[in-house]
Amino acid sequence: MSRGNLSTLYVEEITKDFVGLRALEDVTLHLQRGEILGLIGPNGSGKTTLINVITGFLKPTRGHVRVGEVEITGWPPHRIARVGLARTFQTIKLFRGLTVLENVEVAAVSAGLSRRQARERALWALERVGATRLASIPAGALPYGEERRVEIARALAARPIFLFLDEPAAGLNEQESDALLEMLLPLPQEIGCGVLIVDHDMRLIMRLCHRLHVLNYGRTICEGTPAEVRRNPEVIAAYLGTSRRVLPC
Size of the chain, expressed as the number of residues it contains: 249
The pLDDT tens digits of the residues spanning 68-113 come to 999 999 999 989 998 999 999 888 888 989 999 999 999 899 888 8
Q: How far is CA 20 from CA 16, 17, 59, 91, in A?
A: 11, 8, 17, 25
> Which sign, positive or negative, has the C-alpha torsion 229, 90, 208, 11?
negative
90-to-5, 133, 135, 200, 232 alpha-carbon distances in Å: 30, 24, 23, 12, 27
Q: Would the pTM count as exceeding 0.75?
A: yes
Q: Do residues 112 and 51 both lie within one domain?
A: no
Instruction: Please give the residue range of the domain that contains residue 189.
Output: 1-84+160-249
201 shares a domain with 141: no
* Cα–Cα distance for residue pair 28/125, rounded to 1 Å: 31
| Structural domain count of the chain | 2
Q: Residues 127, 218: one domain?
A: no
Residue ending a domain, choose from 143, 159, 175: 159
Yes or no: say if 99 and 135 are a contact pair by the CB < 8 Å rule: yes
pLDDT digits (tens, 9 = 90+) for 111-131: 888 899 999 999 999 999 999
Can you tell me the distance from the alpha carbon of 247 to that of 227, in angstroms, rounded to the nearest whole number?
10
Residue 118 sits in the same domain as residue 240: no
* Shared-domain flag, residues 1 and 71: yes
- For the beta carbon of residue 26, count every other beta carbon within 10 angstroms: 13
Q: Sorting pLDDT into bands at 50, 70 and 90, what band is 237? A: confident
Shared domain check, 46 and 114: no
CATH number of the CATH domain containing 184: 3.40.50.300
